Copies of this chain bind each other. A is one copy, B any other.
Amino acid sequence: MELTAEVLNITAGGRRIAILGEETARLLGVHSSDRICITYCERQIIAIANVATHFPKKRIGLYEEISDNLGVKTDETVDVHLAQLPESLRHVRAKLHGERLREHDMVTIVKDVVERHLSEVEIAAFLTALNIYGLNMGENEALSRAMVATGDTLDFGEAPILDKHSIGGIPGDKTSILVVPIVAAAGFTIPKTSSRAVTSPAGTADRVETLCPVNLSIKEIKGVVEKTNGCLVWGGALDLAPADDLFIQIEYPLGIDPLLLPSIMSKKKAIGATHVVIDIPTGNGAKIKNMTQAYSLASDFVDLGMRLGLTIQCALTFGEQPIGHAVGPALEAQEALTALMGDGPADLREKAVSLAGTLFEMVGVEDGRKKGEHILNSGKAEKKLREIIEAQGGNPKIQPDEIPVGTNRAEVTANQAGRVLWISTADIAAIAKAAGAPREKGAGVILKAKLGEAVKKSGALLEICAERASKLESALELAKKLQPVVLSKKPEEQMLLDRVPENIAGDKPFMLER
């Protein structure tokens, strides 16, 4: 049927949507959410129809994604007809009924996600079904491969290409900023891409951005890695496994994360990594609550790695409290730089050396941990980080106190003496976010006491830093309400861990960062 185009001069956020009035839709036999095929001058595009109550007859509203693609202008004529169901939707529906999908089915789905032939409603249903039924290893492999195949890939030449990834969930985990220069200083290639915070107070890209630019093109990344062996860049603007980014957009409001394995592994495969250490923080405050869960996830990572031709080792790490003391982009960058300069918290240094050492041993180095320690302690890692900062366009001479942090500061103190019995990582993250992190980069929290440390009455438990006084106030109020650092002279003094159903499911912290 011939309809008159009405270009809406607005994007639909990448979606391919066209608008039809109710009567026009009825004449076309189109229901809302049906696909329609729009033809203009021998060009053709499939769009998803939105049926609107008050839209002029015989017209079709086109968002920019469609009008640009077709090159059509308002008042020109396009031909529109009902399109067939895409094959991918059949596979999505099969998954809704619990069927296992084959490689071909996953490829079809991922292709149609990237090409925007599946609607958000359909992708949401697909992800929900995956979250409930789980994926078997064949599906994980198929999904990973399909996500790699539908995006760009990098090739840094000769193997091994090393990489490190954390499944996330622990605030203050700035370990990558140490691991990358340690590994690169040893002469190995480690092209590290990181994410920005989605639900957390800081992602590695946010942290590094206080030291140097992180939004590099693929060509620029290649230049940095050729020069320094490593990089610390934001992966979000690259087109590595773009389906994953689209999936994350839908997962975010739902608070689900069914694709942890294929999401991480597809990015690693796309960047060309051959040997990857996966950090699995384990503890009550982490995504993975206990060692049983951690071993199970680790074995899935190793298995999936083998299927994809990647050598994987998982590091199960202590995840009961933040790493180091600082939480928040700039505060963490300060702390990481301090650690590389020979000072800084022991747990951060220990974790970095362990992970770097694991990578070294994976490529045949004997006593990799010792090698990592040597590189860190000798100052070679610091020198390497400064090289990377310079190559990425930052100031290589930057000192920790030159990184701007919030000047609105207040301490939260103990109202009794005691030892730190536990620290709620979720509460620390919430307070840092209330202070303005991650978008106010100087905002965050500094822990003044960590697990097992003695605190005097009225001694400092944590310090809140904010760029704005009003945020300091909110964060302080939240800290007083949440009481994230729990002290006790003896464990017996506080036996009540939690009350059910006082805290309901939706309140559980959800961290999508990987």
Tell me the smallest distance from the CB of A59 to a CB of chain B, in Å: 11
Q: Mark out the residues of chain A between 1 and 32 whose CB falls within 8 Å of any chain B CB in the assembled complex.
A: 8, 10-14, 19, 26-27, 29, 31-32
A50-65 interface mask toward B, CB cutoff 8 Å, 1 = contact, 0 = none? 1111110000010000
Contact in complex: A98, B32 (CB < 8 Å): no
Q: Does A157 interact with chain B (Cβ within 8 Å)?
A: no
Q: Does A137 interact with chain B (Cβ within 8 Å)?
A: no
Bound Cα distance A505, B90 (Å): 7
Bound Cα distance A14, B249 (Å): 22
Contacts of A50 in B (CB 8 A): 12-13
Contact in complex: A29, B439 (CB < 8 Å): yes
Contacts of A439 in B (CB 8 A): 26-27, 29
Contact in complex: A505, B54 (CB < 8 Å): no
Bound Cα distance A253, B51 (Å): 14
Bound Cα distance A54, B54 (Å): 26
Contact in complex: B249, A96 (CB < 8 Å): no
CB-based nearest B residue for A438: B29
Q: Does A78 interact with chain B (Cβ within 8 Å)?
A: no
Q: Does A255 interact with chain B (Cβ within 8 Å)?
A: yes
Contact in complex: B253, A121 (CB < 8 Å): yes
**Known contacts being A96-B256, A129-B128, A505-B99, is A13 close to B89, with CB within 8 Å?**
no
**Known contacts being A439-B27, A439-B29, is A125 close to B254, with CB within 8 Å?**
yes
Q: Within the oligomer, what is the number of copies of this chain?
A: 2
Contacts of A111 in B (CB 8 A): none
Q: Does A135 interact with chain B (Cβ within 8 Å)?
A: no
Contact in complex: A128, B122 (CB < 8 Å): no
CB-based nearest B residue for A122: B253
Tell me the smallest distance from the CB of A53 to a CB of chain B, in Å: 7
Bound Cα distance A120, B253 (Å): 11
Q: Does A97 interact with chain B (Cβ within 8 Å)?
A: yes
Tell me the smallest distance from the CB of A224 to a CB of chain B, in Å: 25
Contacts of A129 in B (CB 8 A): 128, 132
User: Size band of the A side of the interface?
Assistant: 35 or more
Q: Does A93 interact with chain B (Cβ within 8 Å)?
A: yes
Q: Does A117 interact with chain B (Cβ within 8 Å)?
A: no
Contacts of A54 in B (CB 8 A): 11
User: Which of A31, A53, A91, A123 neighbours the largest number of chain B CB atoms within 10 Å of its CB?
Assistant: A31
Which residue of the partner chain, among B92, B98, B253, contacts A132 with CB atoms under 8 Å? Answer: B98
**Known contacts being A31-B198, A96-B254, A506-B91, is A52 close to B125, with CB within 8 Å?**
no
Contacts of A132 in B (CB 8 A): 96, 98, 128-129, 132-133
Contacts of A249 in B (CB 8 A): 32-33
Q: Does A119 interact with chain B (Cβ within 8 Å)?
A: yes
Tell me the smallest distance from the CB of A7 to a CB of chain B, in Å: 12
**Known contacts being A33-B249, A53-B11, A439-B26, is A506 close to B124, with CB within 8 Å?**
no
Contact in complex: B8, A97 (CB < 8 Å): no
**Known contacts being A93-B505, A132-B98, A504-B94, is A33 close to B125, with CB within 8 Å?**
no
Contact in complex: A10, B119 (CB < 8 Å): no
Contacts of A493 in B (CB 8 A): none
Q: List 5 A-B contacts (CB under 8 A).
A: A97-B505, A98-B132, A99-B505, A121-B254, A122-B254
A68-86 interface mask toward B, CB cutoff 8 Å, 1 = contact, 0 = none? 0000000000000000010
Tell me the smallest distance from the CB of A180 to a CB of chain B, in Å: 26
Tell me the smallest distance from the CB of A468 to a CB of chain B, in Å: 12
Bound Cα distance A33, B91 (Å): 26
A177-198 interface mask toward B, CB cutoff 8 Å, 1 = contact, 0 = none? 0000000000000000000001
Bound Cα distance A287, B294 (Å): 44
Bound Cα distance A133, B129 (Å): 10
User: Which of A121, A122, A252 neighbours the largest number of chain B CB atoms within 10 Å of its CB?
Assistant: A121
Tell me the smallest distance from the CB of A242 to a CB of chain B, in Å: 14
Contacts of A89 in B (CB 8 A): 253, 506
Which residue of the partner chain, among B61, B120, B252, contacts A120 with CB atoms under 8 Å? Answer: B120
Bound Cα distance A468, B479 (Å): 72
Bound Cα distance A50, B96 (Å): 27
Tell me the smallest distance from the CB of A1 to a CB of chain B, in Å: 12
Contacts of A255 in B (CB 8 A): 93, 96
Q: Mark out the residues of chain A between 272 and 307 whose CB falls within 8 Å of any chain B CB in the assembled complex.
A: none
Contact in complex: A253, B505 (CB < 8 Å): no
Q: Does A136 interact with chain B (Cβ within 8 Å)?
A: no
